[in-house]
Structure formats: C-alpha cells, structure tokens
Amino acid sequence: MRFGLAGIAVVTAACSLNVNPRPLGAQSDGGDDVGSGVDAGTGGASCTLATAVGKDHTCAVRSDGTVWCWGRNDAGQLGDGSLVDQPAPVQVMGLTGIAGIAGGDNHSCAIGAGGMVWCWGRGLLGDGSLPHSPSSLPVQVSNVSGAVQIVAGGAHSCARLDSGNVVCWGENTSGQLGDATTTPPAAPVAVQGPTGVTALAAGNNTTCAVAGNQALWCWGSNRSGQLGVEPTTLPGAPRDLEIPGGVVGVAVGDVFTCAMTSAGGVLCFGSNDRVQLGEDASVTSRPTPKPVVMPVKAVAIAAGAHFVCVTEDDPRHRLWCWGDNSNFQLANTTSESRPFPVLSQYTNIAEIAGGDEHLCVRSMDGGLLCSGYNGHGQIGDGLRTTYGTPRPLAIAGLTEVVSIAAGENHTCALLRDSKVWCWGANEYGQLGNGSWNDSPTPTKVESITDAVEIAIGGNHSCARLADGSVSCWGRNDVGQLGDDTFVDRRSVARKVIGVTGATQISLGRRRTCALGAGKVSCWGEHTVVAADNIDVVRRTPTETPDPAGVLAGVLEIAAGARHTCAITATSTAVCWGDNDAGELGTGNTMDSGAPSAVMQLMNVEHITASVDFGCALSNKSVLCWGLDSSGQLGNGSAPTNTTLPQAVTRLSARKIAAGSFHSCAITSPGDSVACWGSGDLGQLGDGSYSGKAEPVDVVGLSEVMDIAAGGGHTCAVVGADHHVTCWGDDRRGQLGDGGARARTGPTAPQLACP
C-alpha cells in the first residue's frame, strides 16, 4: 500500500523508491556519521532481487524468480493458498520468472515474463472477479503486458508500462485510478495525463507519477492536501504539480506525499499527524510542498504509512528517515517519532520498502533486513510479537500470585508475600524498578513491601498498603500519582497525600480513585469537583460530590478513562463523569457530575469501567453499556453504542476485566475465561487475530483465579500454584515471558536461498 517498496531496482512496489540518475557512489554532501551501521548485506538471505512491504505483510523475489511472502494473511495476501498468518517466508504458489513485486493493504502483485501482472489477496484484482472476493492464489490481471514497475495502494494497483504510460485497477472511490471517474472497473484503465512516466507510487487512495519532463502528477484522495492543493479541491483527473528543480522520485504514504528533486532535495505535503512532513507537530497538515531540511542529498525515496526514508548520495549508501517511529521501524535504536531526518542503522542499501509500522531494506548484494512491528510475523524471523492463545509456559519466578493488573503496555502482579512485580513498558517508570527501561520479564517494585491490592492505569501503577495508605509510581503528567506534583516517579513509589483508611483503589487511563469510609476520592484528569464541573485536573485527592448521599456505604468503585462507577450499599450501580458514549448507563448522553443510577440494573455484585464503557455482574449475568466501537459490549450485534445495559451473550461469570477495547470474564461455573471485543492483537485468546462481538472461549484455561485486561493484552492467574499466563500484544514485553517484542533494530527474515 502506501507502504511500498521503493528501491533502486528497475521494478519496485508501492511507494516506490525511485532513483536519481546519478551513481550511488557519488560524493556525499555531508551528514553526521553516527557509526558504521548495520550492513544490509548481513541479512539472512543473499539472493533477494526485489522486496515489497504491504500494510502487515512482506514479500521478496529470490534470484530464481520465485516469490516468497510472510506476515498477515487473513485476505490471502501471502498467496500460498491459505488464510493463515505466517511468521516465516512461504512460497507464493504458481509464480516463476518474477521480476518485480508490490504490497498493498490486503493484496500483493507481481510482474512476470513479458511484463504480465498477477495479483492475489482481497479486492478488485484486475481479472474481472467480483469486488472484495479474496483470492489466496495469484490471478492474472487482464490486458496488461509490458509492465516495468508495479505499485499497490490501499485497495488499488497501478503498473508503469515500457511505453511510459500507466494503467490502474481496483477501488476508485477517490479517483485513485486516474481515469477521471470514481467508478471501479473490472479490468485496468489508462491513466489520463502524464506521459513518458519514469517513476510511480501509490498510497492509501492516492497515486502519483513522475513524467518524462520531470513533472509530478498526482490523483485520487486529497483529504489532507496530499495532491499538493487545498483539501477542498475535489477528486478529478491527474494534476500536474509545479515542483521547483524537477522531480525524479516520489513516495506516497497514507495521506501525504513526498517528492525528490534532481538536486537531491525532498519536498513533502499532506498530513503531518506523525511528523512525516519533516517538521514538528505544530503543523498538522500542509497542502503546499515545502522542502525538508536534509543533512544529505537523497538519491532514492520511499514512504511507509506515516514515515519516510531516503538513501543518501554517499558510497556507504546509508538510510535517513523521519516520521512515525512508535515500533522502532526507523531502526535508529529508539521508539521516538522524528520530525527531522535521523540516521538509521542500515547501510549498503539498494532498495527500501515501508509498511504500516515496519521497514525492510535490500542490500547491494541481495541481503534483506527488517525492523518494526512484528505482530503478524511481517519481519519474517519465525516469531511474532502478538500471541493469539495463552503462552504455554508460566511466567518464570511468579507463583503464589494473589492478583494481577494490566495497563496499556505493562502488567503487575501482587504476590502472597505482599511484594509487587511488574513487567513490560517502562518509559514513565511504571514498573517502579528504578529505571526507564522496558522489561520483558518481571522486576520487583522498589519500596513496596506490604501491598494488599494493586491497580494499573494507562502508564501508572498504585498499591494499597496494609495501613490503608496508597502509594503510586509511573506517569504523573496530570497528577495521577496524587503527590501534589506533575513529576513521573520511577524508583520510589510516593504516598498519595491525604488518603488513609483506604479499602479499595481503581485506576483509569490517567486518573486514580480510592474508596475509604464509604467515600470516593479521585485525582488526575477528569476529576469531578462539582455537578457542573466534571473535567478538572487535580494532583491531590478530591472527594466526589454526592449531593443526594448515594455514595454512603459504597461497596466497590471502578474508574474508567473519563468516568467512575460504584456499587452502593443497596447493591445498585451509579456512575458519574463524561457520558459522550453513554458510559454512565443513564439512558442518555448527558454528562453528570453527581452520581446517577445506572438504569435497569439491580443486585449488582461486581462492576468495572474502561475507555468510555462499563460492565457489571448482576446475578452472575454480565451486562455492559457505553462505547461499542469494537464489540466490547459483547451482545453479538453490530457495534452500536448503547446508553442502557445490554446482556453479554450467553455468559455467566464471577469476575469481569475491561481492557481498552476488549473485555474478559471468569466464567461460572468452570473457572475458565471468555473474551470479546477487539482482537487484532490476539488479546481474546481464542487463537484468532480478529474481533468478536460476543464471547469466545480462551484456549486451554481452567482453574482461573484472577483476570486482567490491558490495552491489547490479557493475563490470568491460573492453577493450584497461582502462576501467571498472558496472551495478546507483546511488543513491549507485557506478556512477561521474555518472548519476542518489537524489533528495535535490523532483523533478518528466514528467507532461504535456492
């Protein structure tokens, strides 16, 4: 897709990396030397002719002309005849003599003998088949020959022909096929406008070409100005953009475009939501092409969904990148997004391919290396960073666990000896171990020796101590640690000011609440201080207003991202705070600073809250309400927000855990686990990587004592020895077993040579 390969090869894939005619060995124009880097030739294969990256999959052409793909395969985009993800390369069936490859969102295409084209996966593949009818095997694109370059966008594909003309096929809702219509054709159509085309690139719903006179032409979606004109301009025929200096290369991302000039400069335009335009986040978008401040001259360019990379004009053939780096895809040893070009670890580069959140490069001698997100195995090293079933081995060193808690990307466990151990992400000190470093295995929280309860927010953690006080550590940007500062705490947990006699704690994404003496106090963001003031930041505890006295004798509290719920002394449920998605359960979407009764809910035994939704147990039945963006309400219907509690389909339970966009419950009887909602990271534990609108059983779990759901992972306390097992997202080590995480640096796919 926008993720395309771009490289020095004659034929490249989406977002193709196009080359300045000057030799790669030309004199460098500068740039800091921050080390020798990792030679892309050290990759596991030395026989790669071309590589392409789709949204969550990768493909390569070997020296024998065969095609091998790996990663996500739910639409058949790997071409091996299956719909099963593959973390190691598998051969695309029936293709030989291949010279070029492209990867889109959910499809792939290749160029074979005579410039004929084959595609596979989901969408209009150009063979006259029905729209969105997946093919897990290659089908030949109709009426195309003489192709010398192929690119793939979100759901469309284009080929540059040896005549210099361009043909496109697939979805055309934004005019991305360039035929001046928005009608999807059954077979390829000719692009109107550019002639003598020398370079081609495709993004999500946008396509660009460099004409023979070094003019840049773009067409398709323009919602963020990625066509180089104001977003109010409607789609139409391809437009000739006036780029000073002449364009020799182009790269198209999700909703932005970058052009490389004959002088080695780069100009970008469109969305800057991930600083991919080469300037800081104060600029949200820009339709006017503006030069990126480049430390070197570029000779090749490629774009991922939200990042850009260029090869420098230097004998070392190094890579410079900017934009989104949340999964270490830029391979510069950090996960910080970069608004300006930064030197990656890659050198000796012949070809670049950028995906949604991963990057692959091919070396001058055919080696292949990749970095970034590996949730579907798209790095190709035989591992993946998400797991669709509970990990087979218990987390080492953790037994006699009393309870478990999960945050956005970290997890903590309370042991019987009253100590707390945490693992996973730690950029804010949320592991409490004295460092800022992530840990894929449990580390002891310093200074906590007498905990009786633990709870986790998005990036902060708290423990209720035996004396009724509360100590917190981690992120504190809105006062969620309650120590009257905005200072993050990593080494020593700090006591919350003014909390004594606490009987329960509950944490939201950036807020904390405590129950004591039948009263509820909260701090951090979205603190309620009055019935008409529900969105206040407080860095010390503030008692929740209770004009009707309904919170006297409260039995349990649950803090969501922007709201709070409680079980009253009469076993009814009340909620207060923001109510945009109906998360208060009051039958409307009106915010309330005073506790209001959740409608149609009585005999409440247990309650939980998360990101704009809540769930409760009533007579062992599970009922949920509020935001239903991913099926997290579990009622089996198409996702629809509801302001009243809805019964979760066929489920009897004794405890509920609400993650960011998924939920799980310990079933009763049986003490097994069922989950529902978002499942793209394997967090539902049923072996799939797709969401479910009603509960599915977690594979192989019984004797479950406790359950916790985080941002994209789930953990359970299991068995007679009370050990911990986890599943779902492991990019930051939050599953705790020391397994695979995000690839922080170059990693070789397991691509064998012929």
Q: What is the pLDDT of residues 613-658, one digit of tens each?
A: 999 999 999 999 999 999 999 999 999 999 999 999 989 999 999 9
User: Average of pLDDT values for 590-617?
Assistant: 96
What is the 8-class DSSP label of residue 638? S
* Segments making up each domain of the chain, as ranges: 5-383, 412-541
CA–CA separation, 56 and 508 (whole Å) = 31
Of 11, 1, 54, the residue nearest 171 (C-alpha)? 1
Which distant-in-sequence residues (6+ apart) come within 8 Å of 514 by Cβ? 464, 470, 496, 499, 502, 504, 505, 506, 520, 521, 522, 541, 557
Give the pLDDT of residue 129. Answer: 77
- Assigned CATH topology for domain 5-383: Methylamine Dehydrogenase; Chain H (2.130.10)
Of 143, 41, 61, the residue nearest 103 (C-alpha)? 61
What confidence tens digit (pLDDT) does each residue in 312-371 have?
999 999 999 999 999 999 999 888 999 999 999 999 999 999 999 999 999 998 999 999
- Model confidence at 45: pLDDT above 50: yes
Give the pLDDT of residue 529. Answer: 85
In CATH, what class is 412-541?
mainly beta
Give the pLDDT of residue 15. Answer: 33
Give the pLDDT of residue 41. Answer: 60
How many percent of the chain have pLDDT more than 70?
93
- Model confidence at 492: pLDDT above 90: no
Q: Of 411-415, 435-439, 440-444, 736-740, give the lowest mean pLDDT range.
A: 736-740
Greater confidence, 743 or 302?
302
- To the nearest 10°, the Cα dihedral for 747, 750, 751, 754? 130
Are 5-383 and 412-541 in the same CATH fold?
A: yes
CA–CA separation, 261 and 249 (whole Å) = 7
Whole-prediction pTM: 0.83
Confidence band for 17, pLDDT divided at 50, 70 and 90: very low
Whether the CB-CB separation of 623 and 615 falls below 8 Å is answered with yes
Count of CB atoms situated within 10 Å of the CB of 702: 12
User: Average of pLDDT values for 221-243?
Assistant: 88
Give the pLDDT of residue 697. Answer: 97
Count of CB atoms situated within 10 Å of the CB of 123: 29
User: Average of pLDDT values for 109-123?
Assistant: 96
Whether the CB-CB separation of 357 and 373 falls below 8 Å is answered with yes
Give the pLDDT of residue 334. Answer: 87
Place of tokens 């990042």: 307
CA–CA separation, 577 and 590 (whole Å) = 9
Confidence band for 533, pLDDT divided at 50, 70 and 90: confident
Give the pLDDT of residue 680. Answer: 92
Question: What b/e string do you get for 182-216 counting C-beta neighbours within 10 Å, with b at 16 or more?
Answer: bebbeebbebbbbeebbbbbbbbbbbbbbbeebbb
Amino acid identity of residue 323, one-letter, is G
Find the angle CA(251)-CA(252)-CA(255) to the nearest 5 degrees.
150
Give the pLDDT of residue 186. Answer: 87
DSSP string for 237-273: S-EEE--TT-EEEEEE-SSEEEEEETTS-EEEEEE-T
What confidence tens digit (pLDDT) does each residue in 18-30 have?
322 222 222 223 3
The count of C-alpha atoms lying within 13 angstroms of the C-alpha of 671, restricted to the half-sphere facing its C-beta, is 10
Question: What b/e string do you get for 357-376 counting C-beta neighbours within 10 Å, with b at 16 or more?
Answer: bbbbbbbbebbbbbbbbbbb
What confidence tens digit (pLDDT) does each residue in 695-746 have?
999 999 999 999 999 999 999 999 999 999 999 999 899 999 887 555 667 9
